[in-house]
Amino acid sequence: MNQVFDTSRFGLLVRKHWGDNRGKYLLSLGAIASLLLLWYGFLNIIETRSAMQEDGQIVTYYVGLFITGSLYASLLFSDLANKPKAINFLAVPAAQLEKVLVMILYSVFIFFVCYTVIFYLVDFLMVKLNNAIRLASWEDQFHEAQEVFTPREVANVFYRGVSDGTGPHFDPLAMAFTLFFGVQGAYALGSIYFPAYSFIKTTIALLLLALLYVLVIAKVLYPILPQGYFDDGLTSFYPYGINDPNSEKLVEVPGWVGQVVFGFFRYVLAPAFWVITYFRLKEKEV
């Protein structure tokens, strides 16, 4: 039997993980549905006329996806914080690669599918409720004024950006899922490095990295550049004219540089978190 990866053993591990965590996962999905209902209910109460707009639905989807996904990923290896559970987890007769792949399967793919299904079920019901409330109000106040009632529609959260032909195509959907995969990996890695309060500690670590990035831009990059501003990320810069402060000239690096940078975050950095998680788990001792 292959000591690195075996399909039959992996299938058994997937079933075992579900059997051990089924109750927790079902409760978590119920909690997500409840939070979405509370949030949409709150919006419908305080601002009925502007609630459930498509932009708001999309923002709710992705904010909820990242927050709940991060919380979930931070608990993936929580058993390692408890010595008896850690011994049981590490003693399971499966390769460490198979254990990490199971975590990826549940925390990324299955979680994403379940979250999306729950979101659309709640979203559909709340859009219908909002339309009913607004229609009743419209009939009472604006029907005689010949105003047209416009019902809300369920948003397409998988909308893909369309290029206008003047520049490279930007796909917000690909960006969102690249970030989601990377964030999940970061919090999974944090759950190994920080057995206690892993979500809080990982969040602080990520915020410190973001702060370091801002400081490098503000204290290192900006001082060596002429007066101006970045326009489209860090690949294009508008320096103010030397003789005429109101004139602007575009300075742009070649397009392949931006593609390399984006490719690094998409194909290298995000998977790197999971690779490090694998090696960290492989070296874990109790």
Query: pLDDT (tens digit, 9 = 90+) per residue, 117-126?
Result: 999 999 999 9
| 233 confidence band (pLDDT: 50, 70, 90) | low
DSSP, collapsed to helix, strand or coil, labels residue 149 as coil
Side-by-side strand order, sheet with 228-230: 228-230, 236-239, 251-252
Cα-to-chain-centroid distance, residue 130: 27
Pick from 48-52, 67-71, 102-106, 139-143: least confident? 139-143
Query: pLDDT (tens digit, 9 = 90+) per residue, 156-201?
Result: 888 755 444 444 445 666 677 778 888 888 998 888 888 778 888 9
Domain membership flag for residue 15 = yes
Mean pLDDT, residues 72-95: 81
Domain membership flag for residue 88 = yes
CA distance 239 to 227: 6
Q: Specify the pLDDT at position 145.
A: 55
| Positive or negative torsion for Cα 188, 192, 193, 196 | positive
Domain total in the chain: 1
| 248 confidence band (pLDDT: 50, 70, 90) | low
Domain membership flag for residue 254 = no
Domain membership flag for residue 184 = yes
Domain region containing 118: 7-225+259-282
pTM for the model: 0.80
Domain membership flag for residue 252 = no
Domain membership flag for residue 212 = yes
Q: Specify the pLDDT at position 161.
A: 54
